[in-house]
Amino acid sequence: MSGIGEPDANEQSIARRLEEMGIATTPDEISELRSAYDALQAWLGIAEELGGDSSVHPDEPDESS
């Protein structure tokens, strides 16, 4: 856990990842990205839940049918 006034660990992680890609990002942009990060993670989780199974194939029988 970060201390008071210190950047949140996720903010640091976001800033580092964008910096590694050569993307300049201001502290307030990082803060706003952090505010949406949990929702983004939830979306990625949904994508994995529905599409993470490597058996997805055009000929696969649909389990919902």
Partner 1 sequence: MKAVAGLHYSSLVEIAGELRSRTLSPVELTRALLTRIERLNPELGAYYRVFADEALARAREAEAEIGRGEWRGPLHGIPIAFKDLFNLGPTTAGSPLLAANVAGKEAELVRRARVAGAVIMGKLATHEFALAAASLADQFPPARNPWDPERTPGGSSTGAGTALAAGMAFGAFGTDTGGSVRLPAAYCGIVGYKPTFGLLSRTGIIPLSPSLDHAGTVARTVADAAALAEAVAGHDPSDPGSNPRAAKVITAGLETGLRGLRVAVPRDLWDEASDPSVSEKVEAALDRLSGLGAEVSDVKLGVSIVQVMAVGYVITLAEAAAHHLPNLRHRTSPDYGREFGLVLRAGLLVPAHSYVHAQNARVRIARKAAHLLENHDVLAMPTVGALADPLPPGPRPLNRRISEKPVPQYTWLANLTGGPAVSVPCGFSGSGLPVGLQLVGRPLNDATVLRAAHAYESAAEWRDMHPPAWP
Footprint on this chain of partner 1 (rule: CB under 8 A): 14, 17-18, 21-25, 29, 32-33, 35-40, 42-44, 46-53, 56, 58, 62, 64-65
CB of 9 to partner 1, least distance (A): 15
Between 3 and 28, whose beta carbon lies closer to partner 1?
28
Between 5 and 51, whose beta carbon lies closer to partner 1?
51
The per-residue DSSP string of 5-52 comes to TSPPHHHHHHHHHHHHTT----HHHHHHHHHHHHHHHHHHHHHHHHH-
